[in-house]
Amino acid sequence: MGSAGSHQIIIDKLYTLYKQKGYLREDEALDLMTVENTSLVGINRITDKLIELGVIFAEDSSSDDDDEYDRAQVDYDSVYEEILSISPGQERFVNYLREIKPPQHREWQQLVTQMSSGNDYAYNRLFEMYLRVVARIALRYAKDETIELDDAIQEGAMGLMRAIKQFDPSQHGNLGSYLPLWIQQYVSRAIADKGRTIRIPVHMLETVEKIRKSKEKLIALHGTEPCFELLSIETGIPTEQLGQIVSIIRNTSDLLSTEELVNDTREDSVLNRNENSYSIEDDVTYIFLRRDLAEIMQTLKPRETKVLSMRFGLLDGLEHTLEEVGSEFAITRERVRQIEVKALKKMRHPSRSKKLKDYI
């Protein structure tokens, strides 16, 4: 459900509930939007509108005099124990969460300001101190839905990362109420995508829909199946990328078949390659690995990202030496090595490395 009319219906329902109680709980809003299958963009618009209307998103609060200020007052020890009972392999992750200092009173406000000025510590602190919210939401979904706890935590962490980067205090109000919207939506969409033989990312599902609509439009205009190049022009998707997407779609869904999607007679077409010359699963894995690596490396400093990309051939397929990388940045080989070691240490952090465990 994504039309303006459907959004208004949700807004009206939530605003009525707010007027009755004087506040809205984040779970109440999330549950309704999830039932209505609201997109991430829709959730943002609805939340912004509710804030414009003066709606207060409230959680159970504790005394402001407490040294450790936890608005949610959730018994996280119980959450952690339940996680371990379901997935003992998460012991390292749970132990890591237990070591993180809980959010302090109004700490997020200072951190958001510092993050907007490029402070990496502020971003990392925000991510870490709200990672336990990911654990709580992931546990709830793993108990009630058809998703593995490990997958729910992974998707929720990516939602948290995206939410922190998107957060604007002038528009979104309280960070503690804003973050769960993204976390829950990422997990929900992972569940919706679970039935596919090969998992397709959310952004690619949206691209597939764009391809299908463009194909239908071209058929209506020309009365025949569109060629590969024409479909590329209509969708605005480069031919190479379009070929990758079509390859991924193959055998993963009855949404589109290769033959239905395009009539491409080029000998070098991605769609006409000898089926025995490559593994489609390997292609998909490689594309997804590059995507996941890119997302994770966005959390590093730009220079760290560039160094790792050059050293491991992520830019041009060529692994560059320490000397070559040093020449690029006008620094010594030893300094390149230090940057590489530091960046790899960050990549091994559970919050990042867990995303890549399925490729190992």
Pair (206, 187) in one structural domain: no
Q: What CATH number does the domain containing 350 carry?
A: 1.10.10.10
> Residues 217-262: pLDDT tens digits?
888 888 887 887 888 888 888 877 777 676 655 544 433 333 333 3
Which of 18-22, 53-57, 313-317, 327-331 is least confident? 313-317
Pair (79, 110) in one structural domain: yes
Pair (157, 210) in one structural domain: no
Show the tokens assigned to 351. 């919050």
Pair (26, 115) in one structural domain: yes
Decide which of 173, 192, 211 is a domain's last residue.
192
pLDDT score at 134: 92
| 143 within domain boundaries | yes
Decide which of 192, 212, 244 is a domain's last residue.
192
Inter-axis angle of helices 322-329 and 302-311, nearest 10: 150
- Most confident region among 11-15, 133-137, 313-317 by mean pLDDT: 133-137
Q: How confident is the model at residue 131 (pLDDT cuts 50, 70, 90)?
A: very high
| Helical spans, DSSP H, in 36-148 | 40-52, 76-86, 91-99, 107-116, 120-129, 131-144
Number of domains in the chain: 3
User: How far is residue 198 from each of residues 13, 259, 291, 312, 350, measured CA to CA in Å?
Assistant: 37, 19, 15, 26, 24
Pair (344, 313) in one structural domain: yes
> Residues 186-203: pLDDT tens digits?
888 777 766 443 445 545
pLDDT score at 283: 43
Query: With contact defined as beta carbons under 8 Å apart, do 186 and 153 qualify?
Result: no
Pair (257, 109) in one structural domain: no
More confident residue, 102 or 56: 102
Average pLDDT over residues 9-29: 80
Average pLDDT over residues 139-149: 82
| 261 within domain boundaries | yes
pLDDT score at 189: 78
Pair (45, 65) in one structural domain: yes
Residue 358 exposed, middle or buried by CB count within 10 Å (0-12, 13-18, 19+)? middle
| 185 within domain boundaries | yes
Pair (72, 186) in one structural domain: yes
Q: Tell me which residue of 57, 103, 86, 74 sits closest to 152, measured CA to CA.
A: 86
Decide which of 192, 224, 254 is a domain's last residue.
192
> Residues 264-302: pLDDT tens digits?
333 333 333 333 333 333 444 555 566 667 777 778 888
| 287 within domain boundaries | no
More confident residue, 281 or 14: 14
Structural domain boundaries enclosing 314 = 298-359
Pair (212, 185) in one structural domain: no
Give the whole-number percent of the chain exceeding pLDDT 70. Answer: 70
pLDDT score at 40: 67
| 269 within domain boundaries | yes
Pair (144, 85) in one structural domain: yes
Residue 75 exposed, middle or buried by CB count within 10 Å (0-12, 13-18, 19+)? exposed
> What does pTM read for this prediction?
0.42
pLDDT score at 228: 76
Pair (36, 168) in one structural domain: yes
| 325 within domain boundaries | yes
> Residues 171-187: pLDDT tens digits?
777 787 788 888 888 88
Pair (17, 157) in one structural domain: yes
Q: Tell me which residue of 120, 121, 201, 112 sits closest to 154, measured CA to CA.
A: 201
Q: How confident is the model at residue 83 (pLDDT cuts 50, 70, 90)?
A: very high
| 285 within domain boundaries | no
| 291 within domain boundaries | no
pLDDT score at 287: 52
